[in-house]
Structure 1
Amino acid sequence: MSAYTPAYQRTTPREVAGSRSLASMLPSLLMTGLLTLIVTAVLRLLWVGLTSDFFASWMEAWLTTWPIAFPLAYMALPVIQKISRSLSKPAVLKRRTQGISIAAIQQVSDEVTVQNGLTVKAPQLPKIVR
């Protein structure tokens, strides 16, 4: 590709137009669909009971609530993510230099052994027969 190629030719086309936005909506779409499906079924059972028109009234309730729940959940997602990040503290990591050495593993093992009140038996080497 030369430096004189027009900008519209430099970009790679997407396989499906709008796939990036659909991919961002899919988790909210599926979660709200499943949640409203279960909640409306339980509430229909509690309020109406298992009657002959249960399925029809359940589907009516579900198809009424899902279009309300999905956009609300999708629009609230960034706010919920920001709140979640502010509530959870990031883990504080010690700075690692070269990685884990055998000496560091041995030191940690010794410290844990002492903390738990255990002792290490001296290794018994096999006798070499000549």
Structure 2
Amino acid sequence: MVSPEKQAALDARMAKLRIAEDDLVEKFVLGSGAGGQKINKTSSCVYLKHVPSGIEVKCQAHRSREMNRFQARHDLCDRLEGIRKEKVQAQIDAVEKLRRQNRPLSRRSKQRSVVEKRKTSQKKSMRRSPGRDD
């Protein structure tokens, strides 16, 4: 069974992520795979769906239904945190990209650019067909 401390920590984490029990659809499914007759006869596999986000989690890590319920909620919290962190990181990356684009060029960078432009100009001038005054 899950200890009261772990359950309290999970409840606090779910409250922090604004996951209400009413938002969850929970189903118990017959297990499958290795484990023998016990797995195949009991509905210990837990299916969770968070309705607002549409995230679905299926857990069959343990033989106990209660442990699978705990693990499924833990996995759901992990996935929601990951999605939120990705969104925050995308915003930070976008701001950083704009900051880099709007940053003025350094003096050395400008000098290199001018040198490259002169080289390109010389190459193109060599491509011209000879005129009357050449």
Higher RCO (CA-CA < 8 Å; seq separation 6+): 1
More strand by share: 2
Normalised to the residue count of structure 2, the TM-score between the two structures is 0.26
TM-score (norm 1): 0.26
